[in-house]
Amino acid sequence: MVYDLRMNILIVNDDGIYSPGIVALARCARAFGDVRIFAPDVEQSSMGHAITHSRPLRFKPAAIEDFEAYKVNGTPADCVALGHHHWGEVDLVLSGINLGANLGNSMWHSGTLAGAKQASLLGIRGVALSVREGYEPQDFEKLSPHVEEVLERLLRKPDFNLLNVNFPREPKGIRWTRQSVRQYDGIVIEDEDPYQRPVYWCTVSPLEPADDGTDRQAVDEGFVSITPLRLDLTDYDELKRLQSIP
Ligand code: MN
How far, in Å, is the centroid of ligand 1 from the Cα of 192? 26
Mean pLDDT of 195-209: 87
Confidence class for position 208, pLDDT limits 50, 70, 90: confident
How far, in Å, is the centroid of ligand 1 from the Cα of 19? 9
How far, in Å, is the centroid of ligand 1 from the Cα of 97? 8
Residues facing 162 on adjacent strands: 126, 229
Mean pLDDT of 7-21: 97
How far, in Å, is the centroid of ligand 1 from the Cα of 238? 33
pTM over 0.85: yes
Give the residue, 12 or 202, on which the prediction is more confident: 12
How far, in Å, is the centroid of ligand 1 from the Cα of 143? 17
Q: What is the pLDDT of residue 87?
A: 96
What angle do helix axes 111-121 and 76-87 make, rounded to 10 degrees? 40
Helix-strand-coil percent breakdown of the chain, rounded to 5?
Answer: 30, 25, 45
Cis peptide, bond prior to residue 37, ω within 30 of zero? no
